[in-house]
Amino acid sequence: MTRYKYLVVLLLLVIASACSEAKQDNLSQSLPDTPENRTAVAKRYLAISPPGELLHGAADIAEKSIPEQDRKIFLAVMYSKPLEDTIYRFELDNLVNKFTLKELQALVTYYGSPEGKSAQKKIGALTMDVLFQTQKEVKKAMEMAKGQQPTPPAQPAPPAPQEPKQPQPPSSKP
């Protein structure tokens, strides 16, 4: 029963976030930009755009680059509830600390729209593609940089140790 209550609350948050832009503007004028208000709006945003979905999408794409023997463990970690909860808290804290109330409301408005929902589905693949290409380019640049470095000057060989002179018997010449 608790699960159904949670789903009803989540549904209400999604419906509330689908308000028109005019209502969002009126709301932002009536609410002060406080951490509490930013937290409430950030939670609405996270209900629309759950970090777990992005995490799972990224895991599904990244899975192909993981050695086959490690894929099962990798997916188990990436789909784990503790990791999802951690990412949720991290994203919530960052949204509240880095965005204004108006910016958060704009995110809710956009990602609550059909266009925003469509864009959200594509963002994970885009992010992974960009990261993969960046990694390839950095690796290529590093290899080029290593190849272009001048070779260090040859160090002269240390002098060979001299053999100790054998004592000579005193000469008989005066």
pLDDT 10s digits, 134-161: 988 998 899 888 887 666 666 666 666 6
How far apart are alpha carbons 28 and 3 in whole angstroms?
A: 31
What's residue 7's pLDDT?
A: 36
Q: How many residues does the chain have?
A: 174
Average pLDDT over residues 47-60: 87
**Type of residue numbered 54:** L
Domain ranges (residues) in the chain: 20-132
pTM, to two decimals = 0.58
CA distances from 14 to 9, 143, 160 (A): 9, 49, 82
Can you tell me whether residue 167 is helix, strand or coil? coil
